[in-house]
Amino acid sequence: MHAKLLKQAIVRFLGGVALLGLLLFLPAGTLMWRQGWLLMGILFVPMFAAGLVMLRRSPELLQKRLNAREEQGEQRQVILLSALMFLAAFVVAGLNFRFRWIILPDAVSWVATGVFLLGYLLYAEVLRENAWLSRTVEVQKDQRVVDTGLYGVVRHPMYMSTLLLFLSMPLVLGSPISFVILLAYIPIIARRMRNEEQVLERGLAGYAEYKRRVRYKILPFVW
């Protein structure tokens, strides 16, 4: 089973590498783009390492995340909007580098890299804390409310980490135009959280009480 899962994970991983490479370097018109390679490295090297850890320690979680399919129509719309947002942001970043529209200083890329890696660490901690974490909006068998660790601070720490990841990516690439495009992630994720909490309140015992105890969704004292 692990051999089959490993093959599936490698195929998915290489497909992601190839797709992002095309979206970045084809519009850029060159492979000589340091920030493009920087993003590829900080995105895919930790992803590959995390996949190996999950394969060894929790193959069920890896399989669940690889095979996740969103059933709810509203969430499929959220996924589509997100895909279009990323497509536009990465292509524009490549074009921005190619035509030198607005180029940020290298220091911005390095600071954004630090923020991105912090987001990755938070994401890894969320995976460790919540065994029921899913890529789809659902209530799983025997699922219970997780209210410790990061879940005791905000209700959606996974989205907190993805907010850091996604908003830092265009700055790693040095593209302020792409950063503006990726600000669309905020209303997109707000829509997803609203629907997700409705599903959890209906199907997960104790979630309504958890909402009353933990007030903030993804940013303490802000949101």
Indicate whether this model's pTM tops 0.75. Answer: yes
203 vs 67, higher pLDDT: 203
Lowest mean pLDDT among 53-57, 101-105, 134-138, 158-162: 134-138
65 vs 173, higher pLDDT: 173
115-145 pLDDT, tens per residue?
Answer: 999 999 999 899 888 877 766 666 777 788 9
What pLDDT score does 73 carry? 64
Distance CA 151, CA 128 (A): 12
What pLDDT score does 60 carry? 76
Tell me the CATH architecture of domain 2-213: Up-down Bundle (1.20)
Spatial neighbors of 86 by CB under 8 A, at least 6 apart, are: 182
96: amino acid identity, one letter: N
* Domain extent listing, the chain: 2-213
Of the chain, the percentage scoring pLDDT greater than 90 comes to 68
Produce one character per residue of 33-61: b if its CB has 16 or more CB atoms within 10 Å, e if not.
Answer: bebbebbbebbbebeeeebeebbeeeeeb
